[in-house]
Amino acid sequence: MTDLLWPLAAIPYPHIDPVFLRIGPLQFRWYGLMYLLGLAAAYFLIRSRARAQQLILSRDQLYDLIVYAAFGVFLGGRLGYTLFYNPVYYFHHPGKIIAVWEGGMSFHGGLLGTCIALWVFCRRRELPTYTIADLAAQAAPIGLGLGRLGNFINGELYGRPTDVPWCMVFPRGGPVCRHPSQLYEAMLEGIVLFLILRIVGKRPVPPGTTFWTFITTYGIFRFMVEWVREPDAHLGLLLGPLTMGQLLSLPMLIGGGIMLWRAMRSAANRFSS
């Protein structure tokens, strides 16, 4: 326990100012910038992959796709947080639902919101849903990785106490040394997941395979990291040792795995016939 309380045993937390630019009363934060960079990267990556697959998407369609996805991420992420993580508070303070500047975004809510938004987009533009979903899935890890770096800069969503040599003492986490779980997620959900989807996306697989690979693999990675991530203080552990993040990731892991297995079995049947 002594090692956990001894900051010199840890890698120093860098203490990066969450605000990278101030203009009068306006403050521009790294976390918001990460969202913008993720959406910009998604635009260029989707355009590149669409051309490689000879899928004709006009510039207006690409712009609309990113706008739909952005609305899905922000609206779904905020509503998901209010419903999954603090429904009682927001039921009694409904005006706070729009107070996004106070923090509170849910990945799982953002994912649902984005899926609905892209489905609406495909229906209105008469585009193949799975094809667009596969393209969006390949771009998603960039935004996820950048978002976790934003969490790290904010000093939030840190890990549980540990004595590993790379632990850090976070300003909001008390004097104990903790897992830098934001960096674990940035690596797994960002870099590793991007490489996996890149490999899958270049193979002649059935439509939807890349999307369901994203769903399944993210569920696995998030479930793993939650073991070393500090549970939300107002929720704690649920159903025994599980966190809310793990409970929300289980449907992704199981449902995504089933859909991925069905896609692979269908492809194997077509190949054998």
**Residue 6, SS3 per DSSP:** coil
CB atoms near residue 53 (< 10 Å): 13
As a whole number of angstroms, the distance between CA 155 and CA 151 comes to 6
Q: Along the 273 residues of the chain, how does pLDDT read in single tens digits? A: 444 444 455 789 999 999 999 998 888 899 889 989 999 999 999 999 888 888 888 889 999 999 999 999 999 999 999 999 888 888 888 888 887 766 788 999 999 999 999 999 999 999 999 999 999 999 999 999 999 999 999 999 999 999 999 999 999 999 999 999 999 999 999 999 999 999 998 888 889 999 999 999 999 999 999 999 999 888 899 989 999 999 999 999 999 999 999 888 876 666 555
As a whole number of angstroms, the distance between CA 169 and CA 146 comes to 21
The helix (run of H) or strand (run of E) holding residue 130 is helix 129-154
The helix (run of H) or strand (run of E) holding residue 270 is helix 244-272
CB atoms near residue 199 (< 10 Å): 11
Contact 155, 180 (CB under 8 A): no
Closest CA to 35 of 151, 170, 113: 151
Burial 206-225 (b: 16+ CB within 10 A, else e): bebbbbbbbbbbbbbbbbeb
Provide the H-helix boundaries in 53-128: 59-84, 87-92, 107-125
